[in-house]
Every structure is written in C-alpha cells, then in structure tokens.
Amino acid sequence: MMPRFGGQVWPATEVAPNTAKSAFADSPRGSRGTAYFSSLGGAPAGQTLLCYGSDDGGCREEACDAAPGAPVPTGYSLMVAREERICMLLAIDVGNSNIVLGTLVGGKVTRHWRVATDPQRTEDEYGVLFQGLLRNSDVVPADITATAIASVVPPLTTVLHTAVERYLRCPVLTLSRHHIPDIPLRVDHPESVGIDRLANIVGALDGGPGPLVVVDFGTATTFDAVSHDGAFLGGAIAPGLGIAADALFSRTSSLPRIAVAPPSTAIGTNTVTNMQSGLVFGYAGLVDGLVRRFERELQGCCRVYATGGFASVVAAASETITEVDPWLTLRGISLIYDRQHSRAR
C-alpha cells in the first residue's frame, strides 16, 4: 500500500512508528492532528491529512477536518505528530431587535444563535447567556480565540464588550468605520453609516467586485449601493417586514397575527393569505422597484445580495435578488477582524 501525502508518494516502510496512538483523541478541543513521515521531519504547513498506520506496515490516509475524539478505523492506530491551534472567532452583530452571534473558523460560520436585544440586561446576564449558548452547542468558551462586535445600539456596546472579556476571557475588538479604511464612503455624513451596513458590504465584496446592492431585512430594510470601484454610495431605508406585520396586527382590530410566508397566489382568498400577499409580494415589489432604480443610477446590472431574517422569504418572490446569504454580516465582521489583525502584526 503506497500512502499519498502532500501530493507525493512514499513506501509504507517510511511511515513513522505508531508512537502516538491516542494523541488526537486526547488532544485539546479546538486542535487538529497533523500526521507526518519521519524521513521528512514534518508535514507541509496547512495540511489537514490524517494518516492511520497498521501493525503490518501499511497505512491509509483520510483528508478531512476531523473532530476531536474522532474514531480510528478498526485495525489502525492514529499517528499524530503535532497539534495546530484552530482560530475560532466569535462574531456578534448587535441590532435593534436581535443580537446575532456566530462562531467562524476559516471564515465559515460553524454555529449561530439569535437572541432578543435587551438594553436592560447587565454584563453578567449577557456573559452567562453567551456561556450557555456556547456550551449548549458543544463549544467550550476557552475555544474562542477572539471576539469581534459590530453594534448599532450604543448603550449595549460597552456592556457586551465587558461581558465577553469577563466571561469568555478572550481579546475583544469593537468595530468602527475606522477599521475599514479600504471602502470609500461617498455619502454626506460618513460618520453616521452603521457598522452593520459596512460589514455587509465587506462580506459582499469578498464574493466579487461591484457594482452591487445589499438588501438587509432587519428591524429596518436597508439597501446599500456599491460602485464598480468598491465605494459605498448610499442607499435606502424602509420599514422592516417585521415592523409592517406587527403594525397590521396592532393597529387593526380585526386582523390576526400571522406567519410571514408566501401564499400560493398573489390574489388572496381569505384574510391570512391577503395579509401574506401584501407583506411578502409587497416587499418583493419594493425590493425589485428600488433595485431597478439603483441599477439605472449605477448604469448597469448589479449582483444583489439579500441577508437578514426575512431574506429567504422575500428572495423567493423577488425578480432581482441574485444571492441569499443569511450570515453575510457575520462573515463581514470576520473579514474586518482578520484584516485588522493582519495590519496589527
């Protein structure tokens, strides 16, 4: 049997002896094993290949990001030479209605949570809440190597910063527009642009150049226009879909609270489907109308990203949305943190 590793082939006799049979199973959470061949002294950097050796000198390899405690195939013992720490970022997007949290490894969202924004909660309450969310998802708080916060709720910004420092005990970066020098802000008042909108733009530009439009279905529905050279040109803000649905229920005595979902036809045949049509198809029409106006002013077709809680619902009825990314803001936060971290080194 000829094991392949790093694009090269070695005879099975050159495989290092099984001197660390249980090293990976016993390794710290947040680490991964890297096998190597003694004749070369170490594996190429960045390899995630696991190599299993048997007593008869044969071996097999498996390319994967194996979880701690992954079982070793029958008849083989796992050979692990060293461990590499995996950087896990906790990104926190603080909105007016919800706080969205996510862990990211290598820029990919691995877990996520959504909790109600409550300015009355203390640092200790938020700290205990975050610990519980992590542990309930099998993430040990010590696994978090850093936290980045993007907040549009100033009274909560310091509270959350302190909560993370105290309970997760990791470095915390509270993002501001000064952390994003690469995106020109061609608007009247750059200081008033929300950090969440900038994070969305960073995330969208990571997928390709402008022109593009980002539609975020949050408490408000925001539209962000980005030029061909990656500048933020401004946009539009409309009442959020959730606000509109709540207004229908709270301001009218005969209309019920409903689930926001697309009806089968635009012409509703009862109260519920009438409301669903107005909300879903109405907001899809709002999106399509504004996007087409944006495209005329940008002088060309754009990639149109949708994110936020109602993105998937509206995108299914929209004619202009081209991509749905529910975690665009979290990915943008992660990218901003990574770039800032690289500049600081």
Question: Taking the domains of the chain in order of start, what are their residue ranges?
Answer: 1-86, 88-174, 188-197+207-326
Q: Which of 221, 232, 208, 196 is nearest to 331 (CA)?
A: 196
Residue 40 CA: distances (Å) to CA of 62, 111, 149, 160: 19, 37, 43, 48
DSSP string, 11-49: -GGGSPP---TTTTTTSPTTEEEE---TTTTSPPTT--E
Check residue 344 and give its pLDDT.
Answer: 66
Tokens at 114, concatenated? 């959504």
The one catalytic residue among 196, 216, 224, 325 = 196
Tell me the C-alpha distance between 336 and 297, whole Å: 28
DSSP string, 64-98: S-PPTTPPPPTT-EEE--EEEEPPEEEEEEE-SSE
196 is catalytic: yes
Tokens at 122, concatenated? 């203390």
User: What are the average pLDDT values for consecutive 10-residue runs of the chain, which has 345 residues?
Assistant: 28 31 30 30 35 39 39 39 60 95 92 95 97 93 92 96 96 93 94 95 95 95 96 96 89 85 94 94 97 95 94 96 96 94 71
What's the CATH code, domain 188-197+207-326? 3.30.420.40
Domains 88-174 and 188-197+207-326 share a fold: yes
What's the distance, Cα to Cα, between the start and end of the chain in Å? 44
Paired residues of 146 in beta bridges: 89
Residues in the chain: 345
What's the pTM?
Answer: 0.74
Distance of alpha carbon 220 from its chain centroid, rounded? Answer: 20
φ, ψ at 53 (rounded to 5°): -115, 140
Q: Is domain 88-174 in CATH 3.30.420.40, yes or no?
A: yes
Tell me the C-alpha distance between 276 and 163, whole Å: 40
Check residue 192 and give its pLDDT.
Answer: 92
The answer to whether residues 303 and 320 touch, using CB atoms and an 8 Å cutoff, is no
